[in-house]
Structure 1
Amino acid sequence: MKSYDLYIIGPVTIDYDEYMGETKTLLAGPGLFSAYAALASGAQIGLLAQTAPEQSYIHQMFYVQDIHPLAAPVTTTRVIYPTESRNERYLTMTGQIKVITPADIPEVQADVYQLISYINGQLDFELFPCLAARGKVACDMQGYVRYVGEDERIYTADWPDKVKWFPYITYLKVDSDEAKTLTGFDDRKKAARQLHEWGAKEVLLTHSTEVMVYDGEKYHVCPFRPKDVSKGRSGRGDTTIGAYITERQRAGIDQALLYTAALVSLKQETFGPFKGTREDVLTCIRERYPEFVAPKA
């Protein structure tokens, strides 16, 4: 049986990024952004990737050691920015990805299993107890509070079953808007505390200005310090969880959070997934976070 530091389960898509009259086409998907962030940390990665047969060429574009393809319909998303702000956007999706169930998971062993998707319904909820019996489970809430409307536009709504499944999650990732949708709280600290009380062990909450972790005892906070955010907004949250859960396996919360904030700051400066190195991240920490103690190389 093959063993990994991180095994990612989720879709790969073709994205059309529409900003100020310009459209860029890129290989994307939550699993892609997360995988590249984890690889920069030196983790051994496995990936169960949903791709259409005609998209098989994209496997060659990954640096992931092992990819287990799962055939699915062609899926594309459009990320549309109606204003100059990269923090204001809406998404549409065409093509539905088949639901991944426990039966689709290959015989592998991992320290962390990451469930990451675009919309509710892409991943069977029974994956939670299945994977929690094997190792730690990391989960991004974007794939549980997003739904596709009749106009193919993605909208956000509460996840009614959340309390049943949260106790299986070690690392729960959520942004400030998703946190409010799930808890009703505008206050990020109150929202993080509620998510933890529902069962998640470590709540990773992002905002445009910072990333925070609540572990039931303390709020750990670190700012994002990108030089430019005009290019790399898409995939910021997916990059955040990929960086954090891999660095967290070798360091405490504060060190993992610092590493994550620096990596995501760099990612926001370029299109597509983060393709830098661990040394690039450590250099960023030394230059932009002088008040913090950098993680080990």
Structure 2
Amino acid sequence: MKKYDIVMIGHVSKDILIQKGKESRITGGAVVYSSVAAKRSGASVLVITKTAKKERRLVKFLEDEGIDVVVLDSPETTSIQNLYESEDMEGRKVTLLASASPFSVDELPEVDGKIFHLAGLFYGEIPSELIFFFEKKGKLALDAQGVVRCSKGGNLIFKDWEKKKELLPRISYLKTDAVEAEILTGETDRVKAAVMLKEAGAGEVMVTHGSEVILYSEEGLNRAPFTARNLSGRTGRGDTCFAAYLAWRVHHGVEDSLKFAAALTSIKMESPGVFKGTREEVLARIG
């Protein structure tokens, strides 16, 4: 059985993006931005996702990138609308238009990996049983949006993760943005929130923000700036950053991995869609 550097689990999404009155439609979802970023960073990647049978074509471009994909059946494919309401692209209204069915252990294929990245979009997509299942197979990486973002009548609301005390100690790599970190800790200061999440049991804690990404680990605090010249590719920032970090972290230290992730994400944010650059461009950006 092939052993992947990273196995990613999460829904793909038919995304509707509205920016400055202009609408565009793309295939999104954390696993989309994450898998391409990790693959182009040099990692071997398997994506496990769900779509309606008639929409399996949505993942073909991932296969064209050299990413292995397992598509499980769902009555519907997830669809999300992102309405950006501010010039800095930080404020957005997220609406869940449709949702694929949750994952279950029974339907998962036999897989082997170093890191299992749980890349959910909304609470309920990835049940807690998957954390117990995958922790026996390798290190766990969790995107906090999949446990604190909830849908109420399609509208996005945030709720604290009820099982965080039990499950955070099982997570080797945790990614949040500033809002999610505050929901989980009650702390508005990003650094203090990262420290609190580490003290709650998470191994390495990443917090993304408009200007930088910070990471708190056993080595203490590391930070790296985003240097994007424009924000036309803002959607997928956190997904891209976390995946680039995980991919580089397989063979590199914390500080180098964070610098690599920030540089790759900066390049990605300068054009819509997934990261389209190369490792060489990222290393040149670091300088």
Structure 1 residue 260 corresponds to structure 2 residue 274: no
Shift of 1:12: 0.6
**Distance in 2 (alpha carbons) for counterparts of 1:96 and 1:64:** 27
Report 1:16-95 matches (<5 A): 16-62=16-62, 63-72=65-74, 73-95=76-98
Consecutive unaligned residues in structure 1, runs of 5 or more? 287-297
Between 1:109-118 and 1:48-57, the stretch displaced more is 48-57
Q: Any idea what the Cα deviations from partners look like across 1:158-212, whole Å, max 9, x if unmatched?
A: 1111111111110000111110011001111111111111111100111111111
Q: Any idea what the Cα deviations from partners look like across 1:8-59, whole Å, max 9, x if unmatched?
A: 0001111111011100111111100000110111111111011111111122
**Distance in 1 (alpha carbons) for counterparts of 2:189 and 2:87:** 26
Structure 1 residue 220 corresponds to structure 2 residue 222: yes
Between 1:20-29 and 1:80-89, the stretch displaced more is 80-89
**Distance in 2 (alpha carbons) for counterparts of 1:96 and 1:227:** 34
| Superposed CA RMSD | 1.1
The one-letter code matched in structure 2 to 1:278 is R
Shift of 1:217: 4.1
**In the alignment, is the contact (CA less than 8 A) between 1:46 and 1:64 conserved in 2?**
no
Structure 1 residue 121 corresponds to structure 2 residue 105: no
Could you tell me which of 130, 135, 139 is aligned with 2:138?
135
Partner of 2:161: 159
**Distance in 1 (alpha carbons) for counterparts of 2:97 and 2:107:** 23
Q: Any idea what the Cα deviations from partners look like across 1:93-146, whole Å, max 9, x if unmatched?
A: 122221112222211110100001111000110111211111001010011110
**In the alignment, is the contact (CA less than 8 A) between 2:212 and 2:225 conserved in 1?**
yes
**In the alignment, is the contact (CA less than 8 A) between 2:3 and 2:113 conserved in 1?**
yes
Consecutive unaligned residues in structure 2, runs of 5 or more? none
What TM-score comes out, normalization by structure 2 length? 0.96
Between 1:52-61 and 1:2-11, the stretch displaced more is 52-61
**In the alignment, is the contact (CA less than 8 A) between 1:102 and 1:124 conserved in 2?**
no
Q: How many residues align?
A: 284
Structure 1 residue 5 corresponds to structure 2 residue 5: yes
The one-letter code matched in structure 1 to 2:55 is Q
Q: Secondary structure at the match of 2:252?
A: coil
Q: Secondary structure at the match of 1:123?
A: coil
**In the alignment, is the contact (CA less than 8 A) between 2:39 and 2:67 conserved in 1?**
no
Shift of 1:246: 0.8
Q: Percentage identity across aligned positions? A: 36
**In the alignment, is the contact (CA less than 8 A) between 1:193 and 1:216 conserved in 2?**
no
Between 1:95-104 and 1:117-126, the stretch displaced more is 95-104
What TM-score comes out, normalization by structure 1 length? 0.93
Partner of 1:99: 102
